[in-house]
């Protein structure tokens, strides 16, 4: 399997933008589970109908559903050929365990935590004005991030693949830091 990367970070940390830049530079396929879900919602599929209320409330879609979606996507030939950058998955340790199983018992090559403080991401999210970015939903997502996703950092650290990158600064500055971490692999 070619390069397997995971990017973690609070909503509003800039991880989506950086993930797109990274997938271009390293030739890996960018998979955003948030984008996959939003596409399903827009298309009105069964998955979309189930996910919409959960997403609007800022809650997490169930592990079984998410693991099923990612398992199926990672089995596609393009991933085996080009590698992958997972953005928004795993979000829980159950999802991380499932990912390790999908990868044949190992963690990713690198899990990047794009670190931006809570006050800064809240300001950025309110400024971008997305439909699901109400103040309640933002607060709920950040609370969930701390509760569910922060333990993931320990999960990756235990497997020796965690890299914490300062997400403050310009897009170029942050991208340069990310390149340095990945090129060191």
**With respect to ligand AMP, which residue has the nearer C-beta, 131 or 184?**
131
The answer to whether residue 11 forms part of the interface with ligand AMP (CB under 6 A) is yes
Considering only residues 43-72, where is the footprint of ligand AMP by CB under 6 A? 54-55, 58-61, 66
The answer to whether residue 34 forms part of the interface with ligand AMP (CB under 6 A) is yes
Residue 151, number of CB atoms within 10 A of its CB: 12
SS3 160: coil
Name which position in 10, 30, 52, 91 contacts ligand AMP (CB under 6 A).
Answer: 91
Write out the two tokens for 123.
């300001």
- In DSSP notation, 80-135 reads HHH-EEEES---SHHHHHHHHHHTTS---SEEEEEE--HHHHHHHHHHH--TT--H
The answer to whether residue 31 forms part of the interface with ligand AMP (CB under 6 A) is no
In residues, how long is the chain? 185
- Smallest gap from Cβ 26 to ligand AMP, in A, equals 20
Phi/psi class of residue 72: alpha, beta or left (left: φ > 0; alpha: ψ in -120 to 50)? Answer: alpha
The answer to whether residue 163 forms part of the interface with ligand AMP (CB under 6 A) is no
Q: In the stretch 98-127, what mask flags binding to ligand AMP with x, by CB under 6 A?
A: ------------------------------
Interacting residues toward ligand AMP by CB under 6 A = 11, 33-34, 37, 54-55, 58-61, 66, 88-89, 91, 95, 141
């Amino acid at each position: 399997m070619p390069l397997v990367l995971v990017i973690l970070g609070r909503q509003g940390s800039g991880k989506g933008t950086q993930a797109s830049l990274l997938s271009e530079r390293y030739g890996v396929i960018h998979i955003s589970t948030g984008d996959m879900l939003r596409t399903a919602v827009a298309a009105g599929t069964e998955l979309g109908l189930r996910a919409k209320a959960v997403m609007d409330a800022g809650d997490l879609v169930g592990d079984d559903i998410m693991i099923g979606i990612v398992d199926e996507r990672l089995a596609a030939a393009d991933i085996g050929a080009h590698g992958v950058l997972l953005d928004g998955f795993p979000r829980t340790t159950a999802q991380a365990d499932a990912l390790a199983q999908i990868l044949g018992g190992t963690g990713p090559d690198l899990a990047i935590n794009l670190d931006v403080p809570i006050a800064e991401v809240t300001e950025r999210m309110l400024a971008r004005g997305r439909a699901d970015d109400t103040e309640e939903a933002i607060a709920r997502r950040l609370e969930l991030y701390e509760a569910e996703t922060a333990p993931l950092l320990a999960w990756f650290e235990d497997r020796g693949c965690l890299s914490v990158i300062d997400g403050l600064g310009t897009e170029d500055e942050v991208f340069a830091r990310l390149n340095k971490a990945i090129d060191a692999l």
